[in-house]
Protein backbone atom coordinates (compact mmCIF):
# COMPACT_ATOMS: atom_id res chain seq x y z
CA UNK A 1 0.00 0.00 0.00
CA UNK A 2 2.74 2.35 1.03
CA UNK A 3 4.69 1.75 -2.15
CA UNK A 4 1.57 2.27 -4.20
CA UNK A 5 1.19 5.70 -2.55
CA UNK A 6 4.75 6.44 -3.42
CA UNK A 7 4.18 5.53 -7.05
CA UNK A 8 1.05 7.64 -7.35
CA UNK A 9 2.86 10.59 -5.77
CA UNK A 10 5.61 10.27 -8.34
CA UNK A 11 3.02 9.97 -11.07
CA UNK A 12 1.18 13.03 -9.77
CA UNK A 13 4.40 15.05 -9.77
CA UNK A 14 5.21 13.86 -13.28
CA UNK A 15 1.71 14.71 -14.44
CA UNK A 16 1.81 18.18 -12.88
CA UNK A 17 5.19 19.04 -14.28
CA UNK A 18 3.98 17.98 -17.68
CA UNK A 19 0.87 20.13 -17.45
CA UNK A 20 2.76 23.15 -16.09
CA UNK A 21 5.41 23.12 -18.80
CA UNK A 22 4.82 26.32 -20.76
CA UNK A 23 2.96 25.12 -23.75
CA UNK A 24 4.42 25.88 -27.11
CA UNK A 25 2.72 22.50 -27.31
CA UNK A 26 -0.08 24.62 -28.84
CA UNK A 27 2.33 25.59 -31.58
CA UNK A 28 2.13 23.71 -34.87
CA UNK A 29 4.85 23.05 -37.44
CA UNK A 30 4.67 26.58 -38.87
CA UNK A 31 5.28 28.15 -35.45
CA UNK A 32 8.06 25.64 -34.70
CA UNK A 33 9.82 26.70 -37.89
CA UNK A 34 9.70 30.32 -36.84
CA UNK A 35 11.02 29.55 -33.35
CA UNK A 36 13.81 27.54 -34.93
CA UNK A 37 14.68 30.50 -37.14
CA UNK A 38 15.25 32.69 -34.07
CA UNK A 39 16.93 29.85 -32.13
CA UNK A 40 19.48 29.53 -34.93
CA UNK A 41 20.13 33.27 -34.81
CA UNK A 42 20.41 33.35 -31.00
CA UNK A 43 22.69 30.30 -30.79
CA UNK A 44 22.18 26.91 -29.17
CA UNK A 45 23.32 28.06 -25.71
CA UNK A 46 20.37 30.47 -25.38
CA UNK A 47 17.12 29.16 -23.88
CA UNK A 48 14.09 31.30 -24.61
CA UNK A 49 12.03 32.23 -21.57
CA UNK A 50 8.30 33.00 -21.47
CA UNK A 51 8.80 34.93 -18.21
CA UNK A 52 11.37 37.21 -19.80
CA UNK A 53 9.06 37.54 -22.81
CA UNK A 54 6.22 38.68 -20.57
CA UNK A 55 8.43 41.20 -18.81
CA UNK A 56 9.60 42.57 -22.16
CA UNK A 57 6.05 42.80 -23.47
CA UNK A 58 4.73 44.62 -20.40
CA UNK A 59 7.69 46.97 -19.91
CA UNK A 60 7.79 50.66 -20.73
CA UNK A 61 10.71 51.26 -23.05
CA UNK A 62 12.49 54.43 -24.17
CA UNK A 63 14.09 55.44 -27.44
CA UNK A 64 11.13 54.80 -29.71
CA UNK A 65 8.26 56.88 -31.01
CA UNK A 66 6.29 58.99 -28.51
CA UNK A 67 2.97 57.22 -29.10
CA UNK A 68 4.45 53.75 -28.64
CA UNK A 69 6.29 53.42 -25.30
CA UNK A 70 5.30 49.75 -24.95
CA UNK A 71 4.11 46.73 -26.88
CA UNK A 72 0.97 47.10 -24.78
CA UNK A 73 0.28 50.54 -26.33
CA UNK A 74 -1.40 48.71 -29.21
CA UNK A 75 -1.72 45.10 -28.04
CA UNK A 76 -3.11 45.94 -24.55
CA UNK A 77 -1.81 44.34 -21.36
CA UNK A 78 -3.71 41.14 -22.01
CA UNK A 79 -2.51 38.83 -24.81
CA UNK A 80 -6.01 37.36 -24.77
CA UNK A 81 -7.70 40.65 -25.72
CA UNK A 82 -7.98 42.56 -28.99
CA UNK A 83 -5.88 45.66 -29.41
CA UNK A 84 -6.16 48.84 -31.48
CA UNK A 85 -3.84 50.56 -33.93
CA UNK A 86 -3.27 54.31 -33.70
CA UNK A 87 -5.78 54.62 -36.53
CA UNK A 88 -8.27 52.77 -34.31
CA UNK A 89 -8.40 49.53 -36.30
CA UNK A 90 -8.90 46.36 -34.30
CA UNK A 91 -5.92 44.03 -33.80
CA UNK A 92 -6.68 40.36 -33.10
CA UNK A 93 -5.32 39.00 -29.77
CA UNK A 94 -1.62 38.11 -29.75
CA UNK A 95 -2.11 34.83 -27.85
CA UNK A 96 -1.79 31.84 -30.16
CA UNK A 97 -4.67 30.14 -28.35
CA UNK A 98 -6.96 33.01 -29.40
CA UNK A 99 -5.67 33.73 -32.90
CA UNK A 100 -4.70 30.44 -34.50
CA UNK A 101 -2.78 31.78 -37.49
CA UNK A 102 -0.39 33.90 -35.45
CA UNK A 103 3.38 33.46 -35.90
CA UNK A 104 2.92 31.20 -38.91
CA UNK A 105 4.52 33.27 -41.68
CA UNK A 106 8.13 34.32 -41.34
CA UNK A 107 7.84 37.32 -43.66
CA UNK A 108 5.01 38.74 -41.57
CA UNK A 109 6.73 38.06 -38.25
CA UNK A 110 9.97 39.70 -39.43
CA UNK A 111 8.14 42.72 -40.79
CA UNK A 112 6.27 43.42 -37.58
CA UNK A 113 9.26 42.81 -35.30
CA UNK A 114 11.18 45.30 -37.42
CA UNK A 115 8.44 47.94 -37.34
CA UNK A 116 7.29 47.50 -33.76
CA UNK A 117 10.73 47.18 -32.18
CA UNK A 118 11.79 50.38 -33.94
CA UNK A 119 8.59 52.12 -32.87
CA UNK A 120 8.84 51.02 -29.24
CA UNK A 121 12.61 50.79 -28.58
CA UNK A 122 14.07 52.78 -31.46
CA UNK A 123 16.14 49.74 -32.50
CA UNK A 124 15.84 46.19 -33.76
CA UNK A 125 15.09 43.58 -31.10
CA UNK A 126 17.71 40.91 -30.46
CA UNK A 127 17.04 37.30 -31.49
CA UNK A 128 16.69 36.44 -27.80
CA UNK A 129 14.09 39.17 -27.20
CA UNK A 130 12.14 37.91 -30.19
CA UNK A 131 12.38 34.27 -29.09
CA UNK A 132 11.30 35.14 -25.53
CA UNK A 133 8.31 37.06 -26.88
CA UNK A 134 7.32 34.19 -29.17
CA UNK A 135 7.43 31.45 -26.51
CA UNK A 136 5.44 33.72 -24.20
CA UNK A 137 2.70 34.33 -26.78
CA UNK A 138 2.66 30.75 -28.04
CA UNK A 139 2.09 29.59 -24.48
CA UNK A 140 -0.78 32.01 -23.90
CA UNK B 1 -9.51 84.17 -78.40
CA UNK B 2 -11.33 85.50 -75.41
CA UNK B 3 -14.05 82.88 -75.88
CA UNK B 4 -11.56 80.01 -75.94
CA UNK B 5 -10.02 81.29 -72.73
CA UNK B 6 -13.36 81.44 -71.01
CA UNK B 7 -14.27 78.04 -72.33
CA UNK B 8 -10.98 76.55 -71.11
CA UNK B 9 -11.49 78.13 -67.71
CA UNK B 10 -15.00 76.75 -67.58
CA UNK B 11 -13.90 73.26 -68.48
CA UNK B 12 -11.13 73.39 -65.87
CA UNK B 13 -13.64 74.56 -63.29
CA UNK B 14 -16.15 71.85 -64.07
CA UNK B 15 -13.35 69.28 -64.13
CA UNK B 16 -12.26 70.32 -60.66
CA UNK B 17 -15.82 70.19 -59.38
CA UNK B 18 -16.24 66.67 -60.75
CA UNK B 19 -13.13 65.34 -59.04
CA UNK B 20 -14.28 66.90 -55.78
CA UNK B 21 -17.47 64.86 -55.89
CA UNK B 22 -15.99 61.66 -54.53
CA UNK B 23 -19.11 59.81 -53.48
CA UNK B 24 -17.56 56.81 -55.21
CA UNK B 25 -13.87 56.08 -55.39
CA UNK B 26 -12.46 53.38 -57.59
CA UNK B 27 -11.96 50.16 -55.65
CA UNK B 28 -8.38 48.98 -55.09
CA UNK B 29 -7.70 45.95 -57.27
CA UNK B 30 -4.12 45.32 -56.21
CA UNK B 31 -3.78 42.65 -53.49
CA UNK B 32 -0.45 43.89 -52.19
CA UNK B 33 -1.70 47.45 -51.75
CA UNK B 34 -4.91 46.26 -50.16
CA UNK B 35 -3.12 44.11 -47.62
CA UNK B 36 0.03 46.16 -46.91
CA UNK B 37 -1.75 49.52 -46.69
CA UNK B 38 -4.80 48.04 -44.98
CA UNK B 39 -3.17 46.67 -41.83
CA UNK B 40 -3.47 49.66 -39.51
CA UNK B 41 -6.34 51.42 -41.27
CA UNK B 42 -8.46 50.76 -44.32
CA UNK B 43 -6.40 51.02 -47.50
CA UNK B 44 -7.31 54.49 -48.80
CA UNK B 45 -8.26 54.66 -52.47
CA UNK B 46 -5.42 56.28 -54.41
CA UNK B 47 -7.76 58.70 -56.18
CA UNK B 48 -8.08 60.70 -52.95
CA UNK B 49 -4.55 62.12 -53.26
CA UNK B 50 -2.41 63.29 -56.18
CA UNK B 51 0.64 61.30 -57.33
CA UNK B 52 3.18 63.57 -55.67
CA UNK B 53 1.50 63.01 -52.29
CA UNK B 54 1.76 59.23 -52.66
CA UNK B 55 5.42 59.51 -53.60
CA UNK B 56 6.20 61.52 -50.48
CA UNK B 57 4.25 59.12 -48.27
CA UNK B 58 5.96 56.09 -49.79
CA UNK B 59 9.40 57.69 -49.42
CA UNK B 60 9.20 57.84 -45.64
CA UNK B 61 7.22 54.88 -44.35
CA UNK B 62 9.61 54.60 -41.37
CA UNK B 63 8.05 57.80 -40.07
CA UNK B 64 4.46 57.38 -41.07
CA UNK B 65 2.12 59.64 -39.08
CA UNK B 66 3.88 58.59 -35.86
CA UNK B 67 4.23 54.89 -36.76
CA UNK B 68 6.80 52.76 -38.54
CA UNK B 69 5.00 51.33 -41.59
CA UNK B 70 8.09 50.28 -43.55
CA UNK B 71 7.83 47.55 -46.21
CA UNK B 72 10.63 45.82 -48.07
CA UNK B 73 12.16 47.47 -51.12
CA UNK B 74 10.43 45.28 -53.70
CA UNK B 75 6.98 45.77 -52.22
CA UNK B 76 7.55 49.52 -51.84
CA UNK B 77 8.24 49.87 -55.57
CA UNK B 78 5.16 47.86 -56.56
CA UNK B 79 2.89 49.74 -54.13
CA UNK B 80 4.18 53.15 -55.23
CA UNK B 81 3.62 52.28 -58.88
CA UNK B 82 0.02 51.34 -58.24
CA UNK B 83 -0.78 54.37 -56.08
CA UNK B 84 0.82 56.79 -58.54
CA UNK B 85 -0.90 55.20 -61.52
CA UNK B 86 -4.33 55.49 -59.92
CA UNK B 87 -3.74 58.77 -58.15
CA UNK B 88 -6.24 61.62 -58.22
CA UNK B 89 -5.79 64.84 -60.10
CA UNK B 90 -3.69 67.57 -58.65
CA UNK B 91 -5.89 70.31 -57.28
CA UNK B 92 -5.14 73.96 -57.14
CA UNK B 93 -3.75 74.89 -53.78
CA UNK B 94 -1.56 77.40 -52.07
CA UNK B 95 2.18 77.05 -52.41
CA UNK B 96 3.99 74.55 -50.22
CA UNK B 97 3.94 70.85 -49.49
CA UNK B 98 1.53 68.55 -51.30
CA UNK B 99 -1.21 67.33 -48.97
CA UNK B 100 -0.43 64.16 -47.00
CA UNK B 101 -3.79 63.74 -45.36
CA UNK B 102 -7.12 63.14 -47.07
CA UNK B 103 -8.79 64.28 -43.86
CA UNK B 104 -7.23 67.76 -44.19
CA UNK B 105 -8.28 68.34 -47.80
CA UNK B 106 -10.67 71.23 -48.25
CA UNK B 107 -13.51 69.18 -49.74
CA UNK B 108 -13.15 66.63 -46.95
CA UNK B 109 -13.36 69.22 -44.19
CA UNK B 110 -16.32 70.90 -45.90
CA UNK B 111 -18.14 67.60 -46.33
CA UNK B 112 -17.57 66.49 -42.74
CA UNK B 113 -17.66 69.71 -40.76
CA UNK B 114 -21.35 69.96 -40.00
CA UNK B 115 -22.77 66.64 -41.03
CA UNK B 116 -20.89 64.47 -38.58
CA UNK B 117 -22.25 64.10 -35.07
CA UNK B 118 -19.95 64.28 -32.10
CA UNK B 119 -21.04 60.81 -31.10
CA UNK B 120 -20.07 59.33 -34.46
CA UNK B 121 -16.71 61.06 -34.25
CA UNK B 122 -16.04 59.70 -30.81
CA UNK B 123 -16.94 56.20 -31.89
CA UNK B 124 -14.66 56.39 -34.93
CA UNK B 125 -11.79 57.66 -32.79
CA UNK B 126 -10.21 59.47 -35.72
CA UNK B 127 -11.53 60.86 -38.99
CA UNK B 128 -9.15 58.62 -40.91
CA UNK B 129 -11.23 55.66 -39.72
CA UNK B 130 -13.53 55.88 -42.78
CA UNK B 131 -15.10 52.44 -42.31
CA UNK B 132 -16.49 53.38 -38.90
CA UNK B 133 -19.00 55.69 -40.63
CA UNK B 134 -19.03 54.53 -44.25
CA UNK B 135 -19.62 50.79 -44.17
CA UNK B 136 -18.76 50.42 -47.85
CA UNK B 137 -15.65 52.60 -47.66
CA UNK B 138 -13.15 49.84 -48.39
CA UNK B 139 -15.08 49.11 -51.58
CA UNK B 140 -15.16 52.78 -52.49
CA UNK B 141 -18.74 53.68 -51.47
CA UNK B 142 -19.16 56.85 -49.45
CA UNK B 143 -22.72 57.98 -50.09
CA UNK B 144 -24.34 55.44 -47.80
CA UNK B 145 -25.45 57.30 -44.71
Interface ipTM: 0.80
pLDDT digits (tens, 9 = 90+) for B100-121: 999 999 999 999 988 899 999 9
Which of B32, B40, B62 is the mutation pick for testing A, counting most A CBs within 10 A?
B40
Q: Check whether residue B87 and residue B107 sit in a common domain.
A: no
B73 part of contact set with chain A, CB < 8 Å:
no
CATH number of A27-138: 1.10.760.10
Dihedral sign computed on CA atoms, order B89, B94, B97, B103? negative
Strands (E) located in A3-119 = 83-84, 90-91
For residue B139, being part of any structural domain is answered with yes
* Residue B16 belongs to some domain of the structure: no
Statement to judge: residues B83 and B112 lie in one domain: no
Cross-chain CB nearest to A87 (options B40, B70, B71): B40
How many Å is the maximal CA-CA distance in chain B?
A: 55
Q: How many CB pairs under 8 A join A and B?
A: 48
pLDDT at B85: 97
Distances (CA, A) of A115 to A11, A40, A109, B43: 46, 22, 10, 18
Question: Are B107 and B134 in the same domain?
Answer: yes
Q: State residue A7's pLDDT score.
A: 52
* Within-domain flag for B23: no
Give the chain A residue whose CA is nearest to the CA of B35: A108
Residue A24: per-residue pLDDT: 66
CA–CA separation, B4 vs B25, rounded Å?
Answer: 32
Check whether residue B107 and residue B136 sit in a common domain. yes
Share of chain B above pLDDT 90, in %: 72
Beta-bridge mates of residue A84: A90
The total number of structural domains in chain B stands at: 2
Residue B20 forms part of a structural domain: no
Q: Is A66 close to B42, i.e. CB distance below 8 A?
A: no
Q: Is residue B11 part of a domain?
A: no
What are B28-49's pLDDT values in tens digits? 999 999 999 999 999 999 999 9
**Which residues does chain A have within 8 Å of residue B72's beta carbon, measured at their own beta carbons?**
111
Query: CB distance A89–B124 less than 8 Å?
Result: no
CA dihedral A94, B71, B123, B121 (to 10 degrees): 170
Q: What are the distances in angstroms from CA B86 to CA B32, B69, B80?
A: 14, 21, 10
pLDDT at B5 over 50: no
Q: What CATH number should be reported for the domain holding residue B66?
A: 1.10.760
Q: How far is A87 from chain B (nearest CA, A)?
A: 6
- Shared domain for B83 and B117, answered yes or no, is no
Q: Which domain holds residue B63?
A: 30-91
Chain B residues whose beta carbon lies within 8 Å of the beta carbon of residue A68 = 66-67
Which residues lie below 8 Å from residue A138, measured CB to CB, with a gap of 6+? A23, A24, A26, A27, A31, A35, A96, A103
Which whole number is the average pLDDT over B77-88? Answer: 97
- On whether both B64 and B82 belong to a single domain, the answer is yes
Give the per-residue pLDDT at A8. 53
A138 with A27: CB under 8 angstroms?
yes
| pTM exceeding the 0.80 threshold for the entire prediction | yes
Contact A88, B129 (CB under 8 A): yes
Question: pLDDT in tens for each of the 140 residues of chain A?
Answer: 444 555 555 444 444 444 333 446 678 999 999 999 999 999 999 999 999 999 999 999 999 999 999 999 999 999 999 999 999 999 999 999 999 999 999 999 999 999 999 999 999 999 999 999 999 999 99
Which of A84, A85, A114 lies closest to B70 in CB terms?
A114
How many angstroms separate the CA atoms of B111 and B104, rounded? 11
Task: Please count the other Cβ atoms lying within 10 Å of the Cβ belonging to residue A112.
Answer: 13
B76 and B109 fall within a common domain: no
In whole angstroms, how far apart are CA B127 and each of A4, A136, B107? 69, 35, 14
Q: What is the pLDDT of residues B63-80, one digit of tens each?
A: 999 999 999 999 999 999
Among candidates A53, A45, A47, which has minimal Cα distance to A103? A53
Q: What is the pLDDT of residue B18?
A: 40
Amino acid sequence: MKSWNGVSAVLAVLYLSFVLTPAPAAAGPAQDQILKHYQDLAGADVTFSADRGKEFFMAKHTGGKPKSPSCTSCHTKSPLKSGRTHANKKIAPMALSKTKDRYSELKKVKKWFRRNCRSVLGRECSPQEKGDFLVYMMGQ
Amino acid sequence: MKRTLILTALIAFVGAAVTVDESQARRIKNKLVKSECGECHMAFQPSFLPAESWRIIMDDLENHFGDDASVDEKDAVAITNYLVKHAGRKRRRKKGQPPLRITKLRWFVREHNHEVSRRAKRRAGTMSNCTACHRGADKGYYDDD
